[in-house]
Structure 1
C-alpha cells in the first residue's frame, strides 16, 4: 500500500506544481508522477541536510510542491521550453 500512496501523492504534487508553474510542458501521467516523487525526495534530502527533517521522516507537502516546481523549471530550461 505504501507504493500506491507514494504514486498518488506524487501525482497530486506533480499536478499542483504544473498548475502553479507558468508555461506549458507536455508531460504525460508517468512523468507528472515522477516529477512529484522527485520533488518529495529532493525536499526530504534538502530538509535533512539543513536539519529540518530526520532520516525516515517524509518531507512536508508544501516543501515537496516547491521542489517539484524547481524541478519543473530545470526541466523547462534543459528541454528548451517556455519558462
Structure 2
C-alpha cells in the first residue's frame, strides 16, 4: 500500500531536485522514492557499522581481560 507524504523544502532545493529528476527522465515521485530508499539503506549501513564496531570493541575488551588473567595467574576455581 502506498502512502502520501507532504513536506516543505526550500524553493532552490526543489528546483534543483526537479531538474535532476528531469535529467534522469524520472518523475519527481520516482526520484523521491529512490532518494528515500538510498537514505534508508545509508542509515541501515551506519547501524550495521556501529554494531560491528561495538562487537569488535567487546571482543578486544574480552581479549584484554583474558591476557590480564593469564599475566596475573588468576584462575577460576571449580567449587
Higher relative contact order (CA 8 A, sep 6+): 1
Q: TM-score range by the shorter chain?
A: 0.3 to 0.5
Q: Normalising to structure 2: TM-score of the pair?
A: 0.36
In our comparison, the structure showing a higher alpha carbon Rg is 2
Q: Normalising to structure 1: TM-score of the pair?
A: 0.35
